[in-house]
Amino acid sequence: MPDAAAAAAAVTRRPAATVAARRRSGPPPVLVRQVRNGIVESEHRGHIVETDVEGRIMRLLGDPDRLVTLRSTVKPFGAVALVEAGGLEAWDITPAELAIMASSHSGEDLHVRTIQAIYRRAGVSQSALACGTEGMPLDPLTAARLARDGERPSAIRHMCSGQHSVFLLLCKLHGWRPETYWEEDHPAQVAYRSAVARAFGVDPARLVTATDGCGIPTYAFPLREVARAYAFLADPSAVSPRDPRSALAPALVKIRDAMIAHPEMVAGNRERLDTSLMKALPGRIVSKSGMEALRGLAILPAARSGGRGGPSGMAIKIEDGDGYERAGWAATIEALVQAGVLEGQPLRALGRYHRPPSFDSHGRLAAESIADFELAPVGELIG
């Protein structure tokens, strides 16, 4: 495994040294405060980076070179492996089914039926899934119903079963043994890793790896590179034809459009910011969360107020892992407001995420999470 510090330096292309040095002095900035009757109970620190498709930093707060593991933010890029292999045509995979392969779904019946339909056509057994069941399903109503009925959740209700379906379908397509698809040297993992490396513009051999919670490899990059990859997802055609990443554009367009068309597959129908955000801004944004409070945002061309702006990507990281999700919610909405992407009715529709409330046992508002930062354009920071 490559040394993390060396690999981080290898995948950081543009120094932006002046800006980074100015923002890295001292601890990470406070992004969100938990406030109860005017009393600040806790603070959530973190980092926000927005870049264009070439990786030029547009907006910045914190450290753009903060190394993070991609976790579930990798899923839109890894799904390229199946698209390029001809999996969509082999089993007539629909956009909704493609979207769930890039998802961290809630384990609702809708998600289970969607994956089962793919498996029936492909002749794949759901018993082959090796993602586990711990803490699943994410949807509390579904979990309560299963508990009431005495039914134990199966692996297909795990939020990563869509991603793991990519590996199983690759095995079916190529005749690979599925029993160990989750091991790092399995051909399905090699194919997935290659797709991720190409999307980020690096050599697969130089990827920094770790083990994800669902038992497969995950990969580490500086935040600026996460933002750059999401800018690429926002408009895959925006890269130069001379850029090696351009070969992925046809597959990424299909994945992006599937996620936009079926946001309920990307997360879920109840209290999932990724889904709610894409529904509030249809055709303008792709949002994908990862564990430990990382989120990637693909901001499509002309997504800003007045139809302005080219494609960009934003990466948001909450330092403490944000066990309650409140800081990630509040910081994401506020960052999009300050970037000119979110205003008016869509912003009002997302109010519960902008200032996540906490209620007491009688249903009274007791506390709120309030974003408090300035995400200034980089030109203003330097000036």
pLDDT digits (tens, 9 = 90+) for 347-363: 999 999 999 999 999 99
Mean of pLDDT values over 62-81: 98
Sequence-separated (6 or more) residues with CB below 8 Å from residue 236: 246, 248, 249, 250, 252, 253, 256
Q: What is the pLDDT of residue 4?
A: 47
3-class secondary structure, 353: helix
pLDDT value at 3 more than 60:
no
3-class secondary structure, 314: strand
Q: What is the pLDDT of residues 300-311, one digit of tens each?
A: 999 998 888 999
Could you tell me which of 259, 239, 161 has the C-alpha nearest to residue 198?
Answer: 239
Please report the beta strands in 178-273, taking only residues with DSSP state E, as ranges in sequence order. Answer: 208-211, 217-222
pLDDT value at 382 more than 90:
no
Local confidence band at 24 (pLDDT 50, 70, 90 cut-offs): low
3-class secondary structure, 60: strand
Local confidence band at 26 (pLDDT 50, 70, 90 cut-offs): confident
Q: What is the pLDDT of residues 266-283, one digit of tens each?
A: 999 999 999 999 999 999
Q: What is the pLDDT of residues 75-134, one digit of tens each?
A: 999 999 999 999 999 999 999 999 999 999 999 999 999 999 999 999 999 999 999 999
Q: What is the pLDDT of residue 376?
A: 87
Q: What does each C-alpha distance from 124 to 128, 167, 176, 177, 348 come to in angstroms? A: 8, 11, 13, 12, 43
Q: What is the pLDDT of residue 15?
A: 40
pLDDT value at 2 more than 50:
no
Q: What is the pLDDT of residue 307?
A: 84
Cα 383 from Cα 381, distance rounded (Å): 5
Cα 17 from Cα 23, distance rounded (Å): 10
- Give the strands of the sheet with 67-69, arranged side by side: 67-69, 217-222, 208-211
Percent of the chain clearing pLDDT 90 (strictly above):
89
pTM more than 0.85: yes
Q: What is the pLDDT of residues 147-186, one digit of tens each?
A: 999 999 999 999 999 999 999 999 999 999 999 999 999 9
